[in-house]
A and B are shown apart, each in its own frame.
Chain A
Amino acid sequence: MPGDHLSNEEFFTKLGDLLENNRTKGHGTVFLTQKRLTFDTDFSPPPAAKIADDPLWDTHPQNPLPVVIRASNNKSSSRPGTDREDIAKTKLSTVVQPDQLDSFYGRYADVCKAGMSGLKKRDKKKGKKDKKKKRKGAVGETKG
């Protein structure tokens, strides 16, 4: 299915949408998968005899191989008594060429960090405490 793969740019915008939808919905899951691309490329396993000779044949390919990245959400169907809605499964995939891996992962990290805002923030309590202390200090000063 090489025709189904999105370009890296498109993938990022759609992945951003996927994470954004998940955030506005308030619950749900986003799956991300990465794997070596071996389907429909010029990389083909050597003949069977050679595989038997060398069980580690795939550990030293001649050329670097592209990596396929997939993303999907969870399908959900409406259920009486809950606020669940019908949401179709969305599947995205893109192929990253070996020479673009580093730049791709730089952007990938940014998109994921922005989208996964539900996770715990760092030092949340500490920051609030400090702010309150400061405020209290300010109030005390004005009173005094």
Chain B
Amino acid sequence: MPYFKTSTEWFEQSSLLLKARPTTTRITSKYTVLKPTASKVQKRQKYLEKKAARPAKPSATTSSDAPSQTLPTPDPNEPTSTFTLKTYDPESGTCLQYQTSKGAEVGRLIGSLGRLARHMAALPDVPETTSAAGEATSTPKVEDDTKDLGAAVPAAEQKQGGGGKKKKKGKK
């Protein structure tokens, strides 16, 4: 199963899957820090050399030239960190994944894990006023995303009937 492009999409699909199979579905989140391989380091170095050799774009005006040159060059030996979410149901073999490398997303993703845990515990959905308020304070960008989530949840609920039908078909 390919990775979803947005966490909203992942959350929607995962909540549908959990509604259909709450007992068997599990959610694994993996935080991994990897040292780059020798070939990866080489590749990064080559890229940096190429970037340095290439003259600055004409669109970059004189005023912004100086700061862009003084930007610290990324260390080719820097480890790559990723955070991967995976919802898997062994009974149907469904696997839904989302991956990010942004630290700012972790709080929101764990928040959505919490809401999915409510499905697992068979508790009713809560209006996400608390989570939205908690995260909106951190960054303005998150705010947009939470709005998306808010819009997505009713849609997911509407889809619920369709999801159930699909599942029944699979069973027969």
- Chain B interface, DSSP helix/strand/loop, else mixed: mixed
Verify if A29 is at the interface (C-beta below 8 Å from B).
yes
- The contact string, 1 if C-beta is below 8 Å from chain A, for chain B 157-168, is 000000010011
A119 adjacent to B101 (CB under 8 Å): yes
Q: Which residues of B contact A102 (CB under 8 A)?
A: 114, 126, 130
B19 adjacent to A59 (CB under 8 Å): yes
Point out residues on B near A: beta carbons under 8 Å. Answer: 19-23, 25-35, 66-67, 70-72, 79, 81-83, 100-104, 106-107, 110-111, 113-114, 116-118, 120-123, 126, 130, 139, 141, 164, 167-168, 171
Q: Which of under 10, 10 to 19, 20 to 34, or 35 or more describes the interface residues of A?
A: 35 or more
Q: How far is the CB of A94 from chain B (nearest CB, A)?
A: 12
B67 adjacent to A129 (CB under 8 Å): yes
Q: How far is the CB of B119 from chain A (nearest CB, A)?
A: 9
Verify if A49 is at the interface (C-beta below 8 Å from B).
no
B27 adjacent to A119 (CB under 8 Å): no
Q: Complex Cα distance A119/B110, Å?
A: 15
Which residue in A64, A116, A120, A125 is a CB contact (below 8 Å) of B31? A116
Q: Which residues of B contact A35 (CB under 8 A)?
A: 25-27, 120
Verify if A6 is at the interface (C-beta below 8 Å from B).
no
B72 adjacent to A128 (CB under 8 Å): yes
Q: Complex Cα distance A33/B113, Å?
A: 10
Evaluate whether A34 and B110 lie within 8 angstroms (CB atoms) in the complex, with A67-B120, A98-B123, A125-B71 already known: no
Q: Complex Cα distance A61/B167, Å?
A: 18
Evaluate whether A113 and B33 lie within 8 angstroms (CB atoms) in the complex, with A65-B121, A101-B117 already known: no
Which residue in A23, A59, A132 is a CB contact (below 8 Å) of B22? A59
Q: Which B-chain residue is minimally distant from A36 (CB atoms)?
A: B120
